[in-house]
Amino acid sequence: MIADKVIQGILDRFAEVNRLMSTPEIAVDVRRLTELGREHASLRSVVGAIEAWRRLVSERADLEELVATEEDGDLVRLARSELADIEARLPAEEEALRLKLLPRNPEDRKDAIVEIRAGTGGDEACLFAGDLYRLYSRFAETKGWKVELIDVSDGPQGGYKEIVFSVSGEDAFGTMKYESGVHRVQRVPATEASGRIHTSAATVAVLPEAEEVDVAIHPNDLKIDVYRSSGPGGQSVNTTDSAVRITHLPTGLVVTCQDEKSQLKNKDKALRVLRARLYELELEKRESERSEARRSMVSTGDRSAKIRTYNWPQGRVTDHRLEGDDKNHPLERVVDGELDAIINALRTAENADRLARL
């Protein structure tokens, strides 16, 4: 049974947000108005579910009273039929409402910074990192999200040793966060002449993109180096010192960016990545379990520490966090960017676990 105080708390907050959004002082505060607008949209969906559930509960009470007080007849038989229909619908309505009442992670609404690094497997791991980037680019396109390249280190035979990019759009981090971990590939690489199947790996780290108000970076804490950008084989991308390397002295974090021809743009992009990494460090301090899980997922890129396997010979992608029919998916669809089935299954499993702990 859903606690009345939980429902009333949601309704009270919705009324308070409505009141705040109509006040003159909030109307001129763009940042605060944007925050309240997002909260209002989220709460409106929950309030709608509460109202639908309450209507059914009220109708059930009315029908039960009618059946209990009226003599048998056509009206009572109709009431019994409607009552049976409501009894059948109520559990699903209540379950849907319980899911909506689960507190949302505030980071889920943020944009995402995605880092892909080649792991075990040499040149083939670099090629696989390239495949993952194309996969996520296509997935983002289906969502109407914007992908912006931040930094690239090319692989000797193609693909990437490392690629960092941002994904901007509704619930970008809340959706992409399930991709954090080690991804393993089994196939005959383009670099293999004998036709032997190789197993390689790449790591994916997905960070919530922090805004300036989330993380304060003091200029005195930064060491900023500029140097000449270079492409594959050491070729100069341009003739100015536009590439930027930022070292955050208190933590030792190092971020580089050379994608843009403008030093200022490269610096801005590097600061975005640094801000996201510092924000993640702060979140990890508050969530020790999440910290341990993330470290184990992306620390080494070793083939044995995996969340998903892409098996080319069998045409199958296996997500090792799922069970039953949700575990395996068609390879061709997944590498073409069709990730919704996997992510929805992971989100459902996560919600079921959270509901069990309520």
- Residue 211, φ and ψ in degrees, nearest 5: -90, 170
First to last CA, the chain: 11
**Which pLDDT does position 357 carry in this prediction?**
63
- The Cα 318–Cα 297 span in angstroms is 16
Token pair for residue 217?
């970076």
- The Cα 60–Cα 89 span in angstroms is 11
Q: What is the mean pLDDT of each run of 10 residues along the chain (358 residues)?
A: 76 92 90 84 87 92 89 86 93 82 79 94 93 97 95 92 93 93 90 79 93 80 85 49 90 90 90 90 69 44 71 95 92 95 89 70
- The Cα 164–Cα 166 span in angstroms is 7
Tokens 């708390």 -> residue: 9
Residues in a beta bridge with 308: 183, 319
**Which pLDDT does position 173 carry in this prediction?**
94
- The Cα 208–Cα 113 span in angstroms is 6
- The Cα 205–Cα 129 span in angstroms is 12
Pairing of strands 112-118, 160-168: antiparallel
